[in-house]
Amino acid sequence: MCYGVFMIIAPWSYVWNYVKRIDSALTERESSILYQYSCIAGKGCIVEIGSYLGRSSCSLGFGARATGRVVFCVDHHKGDDQSGHITDQNGNVLSTFGSFVKNVKMLNLWGTVIPIVSDSVEAGKTWNKTYIDLLFIDGYHTKVGCLNDFNAFYKHLRDGSHVIFHDYERNIKTFGVKEAVNELQDNGILSIVDTVDSMAITKISPRKL
């Protein structure tokens, strides 16, 4: 069953009624930030690294569709040792891709939300789409993992575009998102413009010629 087609910029409360049905650690406020920024992003595309079952993807997707853009969602759909794995009764790791597709289609966003089943580094190497105006990073949460996700797509981001990092404020010993983002800011690559729940909203600084 599909839950309708949004061709206008709908109130967040209306969108939340649908995306909240998808299991996720993403809070309502975090989901609303993704929707808000997808509505105001420039004419380039939107990229997400780390989709899981699709709540963040669909939050971005509703805003993208209302403004005539698409969201490319990069995820290998195998889980990891930080976010965990989905397994069968025998302990075999299952792909989350089937559930992701089901959820995106349920909300009638297939075609606006476009999956790329890959890790971020490989996806960045072969990127041949248009420039990126909004990047959401919710991949592997170590410092190195976060920097790898960012660096894979940095050259495709326009100056002034926004990058939103999930779990920046998450106080978990194995997470290094805050350290990675602060390092990027210290090096003048981006600046933090706001934080919402665990998210850091950042803006790409002008590159030096």
Residue type for position 186 = D
**Cα angle 49-51-56, degrees, rounded to a multiple of 5:** 100
Residue 7 lies in a domain: no
Residue 152 lies in a domain: yes
Residue 64 lies in a domain: yes
Distance between first and last Cα of the chain: 52
Residue 19 lies in a domain: no
Of residues 75, 48, 53, 50, the one with CA closest to residue 63: 48
Question: What is the band of 173 on the pLDDT scale with cuts at 50, 70, 90?
Answer: confident
Report the CATH number at residue 179. Answer: 3.40.50.150
pTM recorded for the entire structure: 0.91
Of residues 163, 166, 153, 171, the one with CA closest to residue 191: 163
C-alpha span between 67 and 69 (Å, rounded): 6
Question: What is the band of 4 on the pLDDT scale with cuts at 50, 70, 90?
Answer: very low
pLDDT digits (tens, 9 = 90+) for 64-109: 999 999 999 999 998 665 555 565 566 666 789 999 999 999 999 9
Region 198-208 average pLDDT: 95
Residue 209 lies in a domain: no
Range of the domain at 125: 33-204
Number of structural domains found in the chain: 1
Question: What is the band of 6 on the pLDDT scale with cuts at 50, 70, 90?
Answer: very low
C-alpha span between 108 and 2 (Å, rounded): 6
Of residues 159, 166, 156, the one with CA closest to residue 188: 159
Helix axes 28-40, 12-19, angle to 10 degrees: 120
Of residues 205, 175, 185, 203, the one with CA closest to residue 40: 203
Q: Is the dihedral of CA 76, 37, 133, 71 positive or negative?
A: positive
C-alpha span between 99 and 75 (Å, rounded): 13
Residue type for position 55 = R
For residues 101, 103, 105 and 106, what is the CA-based torsion angle, rounded to 10 degrees? 160
Residue 11 lies in a domain: no
The dihedrals phi and psi of 195, each to the nearest 5 degrees, come to -130, 140
pLDDT digits (tens, 9 = 90+) for 112-159: 999 999 999 999 999 998 899 999 999 988 999 999 999 999 999 999
pLDDT digits (tens, 9 = 90+) for 8-43: 788 999 999 999 999 999 999 999 999 999 999 988
Residue 24 lies in a domain: no
Residue 18 lies in a domain: no
